[in-house]
Amino acid sequence: MMTESKKIKLFNGKKGDFIRLTHLDIDGVMRRRLLDLGFVPGAVVEVLRKSPLGDPIAFRVSQTSIALRKEESLRIEGELINP
Amino acid sequence: MTKSFRIALAGNPNTGKSTLFNLLTGLKQHTGNWAGKTVDLKAGTFTFKTNQYEMIDLPGTYSLFSNSKDEEIARDYIVFEKPDVTLVVLDATALERNMNLALQVMEITDRLIICINLIDEAEKMGIKINEKVLMKRLGVPVIKISARNKSGIPMLLDTIDRVVTGAIQCTPYQMTYDEETEKKIALLLPTVEKISGNKFPARWLSLRLLDGDTNLLQQIQQKITIMEG
Amino acid sequence: MGAQSAYKQNEVQELFYQAEQLSSSNVRDQIVEQLYKKSNELIKEGVSFTKTKHDQRTEKLDAIFTSPIWGFPIMLIMLGVIFYLTIAGANIPSSMLASFFGWIEGYLTLMFTTLHAPDWLHGVLVLGLYRGTSWVISVMLPPMAIFFPTFALLENYGYLPRVAFNMDRLFKTVGAHGKQSLTMAMGFGCNAAAVMSSRIIESPRERMLAILTNNFVPCNGRWGTLIVLASLFMAAGFTGGMKSLVTTSVIVGIVMFGIIITFLVSWVLSKTALKGVPTHYTLELPPYRKPKFVDTVIRSSLTKSLSVLKRAIKVAAPAGILTWVLANIQVGDTSILLHIVNFLDPLGQMIGLDGYILMAFLIGLPANEIVLPILLMGYLSTGALIDVEGIEDLKQIFLNNGWTWLTALNMMLFSLLHYPCGTTLVNIYKETKSIKWTFWSFMIPTGIAFLVTFLITQIVRFMGWV
Ligand SMILES: Nc1nc2c(ncn2[C@@H]2O[C@H](COP(=O)(O)OP(=O)(O)O)[C@@H](O)[C@H]2O)c(=O)[nH]1
Ligand SMILES: [Mg+2]
């Protein structure tokens, strides 16, 4: 199977997608909090599920699941690396 | 003769700090499976061998960069109150993120024990942890426990005892950063050392300054003025 | 020493300046990235993963608990089940406690007669204070001893973050923080503690919203009132399990109403005084973990129930004595109590209550638990003494004082919506450090309590339903 590689925002990921982070377009405390949680460039994030009303979305990052709102997940970018 | 020591419990939220706290102190700190259950400092005591221990359950934090009030409370306690031992409680099932906090604590204090909790869950998930390797790499005791199943507790108590009595000397691994950051730290370090004396971790303070955290050094300066005055 | 510290001050300023020059915006990124790199390295060396699969159980359960279809119904059912267990399970122990206290009361009365104590003293101390307090204990203790452990089990299992996950979108719509559902959940236990737990919300604006609205979740101190009034007046025509079911539905309805008000108030505030866009939201969803059953149950039922109860009793005694004093000191030809009651009565009538009820809420400011006993003491102190056997007969006291289902409904709503208790107000001040916001945390609920009960009363009276 081929390995896809394309740019994608976390928010646009589908359930089961794996995304390698490249860039966080967020500043201030939120950026620092995201870094602490493991949303660092290079980390691989899995899209887990959407909440019943579509937002927030839960991601698996550094072995834990973290939910982010649309406002943030739209500003986190990576490459889709689904096997 | 009984001596008395203070132990601080640090760690990410939800790693079982309160469960361990209750187990050791017999106190009734409420636990909960969500981040944010403990927001305040809670203290309790227990005795082991001939020593008396006061244990402090710090709020769970993801880092010690003081992004929020909880983190500040936890950090300030470790920096200013200088517990005799800081027990860093890690979640065995999410070691990557948890280890990151342990590395930060190791920059602040050299009297710490790493306590990998929830080992029962990790085993169920097929996670095998070689604590000997970690211990060697980190330079501090690493103990695997399950606060829920009460396993590994005698070993933990024994280690605490040996750290406070000086039978074990910890030499925590010190993070080295990229060249540029290291150079900057080296530039700041002499002055910081002069101000903070040997009572506070100067290298870490320099790093915090680089990160824009001036508040911390001011606090330290005040403390020192008070101590001298 | 002064010169020395001035010198140091200079040095520090220089150091800060130097640090500022050296610092660049990506320092933190660098630091954290390298910390994570190191963590990864350590884990590669020291940890091996024999299974590749993640926690399957948590995935499966989350598929149900946060499902687009089942997520919300399950939350409602959970709430209903907890309340049903609490109400139905508390019935028998409640009546057992009540008869136990009744048995003691017999001896107390005997003691008063042997001592030739005056009737009014016996009336107020035994029939008022003692009976009121013991009655609060019999009504409150069993539900607490069931609710706290059940809730603690759910909490330790890991269900609460899922509620926050499901509800977040609604909170975002009204400009609040998703973790407000966690502080609200804490509010069911105790609003004062919940106000402290609002620290988990990092941004000050949303934290203030959570603090100002927490009171709209009924704490256990108000459940006694809610459960008793619901079962006496709303479920009066039913018996057994059906009665508990109806009572539960009424309570769930009241709780839902409180949640709606929370959303409304949050929305209005975030459009006015607390304007701003929602910020910073990260929520961790931990794996489900089987709680330590016995530990959790014992810790939560014993320590929590007892501490809440202790507080209630500590407040009940002085409040009881205050009520007694007010009822027995005459100014002009009536007691102070009656003066107050008469003064408050017109206002009370307007919102479908009466002067006694408002007075009870006033004296009950330190703790909601004592509102009903104070009310009973008030009613009993005016000579409307009747002999009551057990909780059911208390309804007669209310009926003698002109109660209808509307009075009961309004009292429940007023209890749900009115100002936070004294302890909560103190905690609000401690957390916000602002007299202004503490004041508003008192005024907003109180205003809403009056408005809602006023509207309901006027509508019901206009339609001629009572
Ligand atoms: N399976 C298992 N669960 C645990 C263990 N220690 C704690 N827990 C559970 O983990 C959750 C969080 O515990 P708590 O002590 O409140 O964590 P804290 O936030 O670090 O204080 C609770 O549901 C505990 O029952 C353990 O060793 N094994
Ligand atoms: Mg805790």
- pLDDT for position C102: 85
Q: Which of B193-202, C82-91, C413-422 has the highest mean pLDDT?
A: C413-422
The span from the CA of B97 to the CA of C414, in Å, is: 47
The domain segmentation of chain B, as residue ranges, is: 4-164, 179-228
Sort strands A57-61 and A76-80 into parallel, antiparallel or unpaired: unpaired
User: Hey, is the C-beta of C68 within 8 angstroms of any chain A C-beta?
Assistant: yes
pLDDT recorded at residue B229:
58
The CATH homologous superfamily for domain B4-164 is: P-loop containing nucleotide triphosphate hydrolases (3.40.50.300)
- State whether B103 and C287 contact (CB < 8 Å): no
Tell me which chain A residues have a C-beta less than 8 angstroms from the C-beta of B68. Answer: 29, 33
CB contact under 8 A, B97 and A32: no
CATH number, residue A23: 2.30.30.90
Average pLDDT, chain B: 89
What's the pLDDT tens digit per position in C299-354?
777 777 777 778 777 887 778 778 877 887 888 888 898 999 999 999 999 999 99
Residue C36 counted as domain residue: no
Please report the pLDDT score of residue C115 as a whole number.
92
Distance from C-alpha of B30 to C-alpha of C299, rounded to nearest angstrom: 8
Cα distance from A6 to chain B (closest Cα, Å)?
Answer: 26
Is C2 part of a structural domain of the chain?
Answer: no
Within 20-79 of A, beta carbons closer than 8 Å to B belong to 29, 32-33, 36-38, 62-64
Q: C190 in a domain, yes or no? A: yes
**C67 contacts chain A (CB < 8 A):** yes
Q: Tell me what pLDDT residue A30 has.
A: 87
Q: Which of B65, B67, B97 is nearest residue A64 as measured by Cβ atoms?
A: B97
Protein residues with C-beta less than 5 angstroms from the ion ligand 2: B 18, 37-38
The total domain count for chain A is 1
Is the peptide bond between B59 and the residue preceding it cis, with omega within 30 degrees of 0? no
Chain C residues within an 8 Å CB radius of B70: 199-200
d(CA C427, CA C212): 12
In this predicted structure, the answer to whether residue C124 has a pLDDT above a threshold of 80 is no
Distance (Å, whole) CA C302 – CA C311? 14
Phi, psi for A23 (deg, rounded to 5): -155, 135
CA C128 to chain CA centroid, nearest Å:
25
Ligand nearest to the backbone CA of B147: 1
pLDDT tens digit string along B48-107? 998 999 999 998 899 988 677 778 888 999 998 899 999 999 999 999 999 999 999 999
pLDDT at C172 over 50: yes
- Tell me the residue range of the domain where C458 lies: 63-463
Sorting pLDDT into bands at 50, 70 and 90, what band is A8? Answer: very high
Residue C53 has pLDDT above 80, yes or no: no
Confidence band (pLDDT; 50, 70, 90) for B1?
low
Q: ipTM score of the complex?
A: 0.93
Count how many domains chain C has: 1
CB contact under 8 A, B97 and A38: yes
CB contact under 8 A, A68 and C54: no
Would the pLDDT of A5 be above 70? no
Residue B69 forms contact with A (CB below 8 Å): no
Percent of chain A that is helix, strand, coil (3-state, to 5): 20, 40, 40
Q: What is the pLDDT of residue C52?
A: 62
Percentage helix, strand, coil for chain B under 3-state DSSP, each rounded to 5: 45, 20, 35
* Ranges B191-195, C14-18, C404-408, most confident: C404-408
Residue C384 pLDDT greater than 50, yes or no: no
Give, in order, the Cα–Cα distances in Å from B5 to each of B47, B85, C420: 10, 8, 41
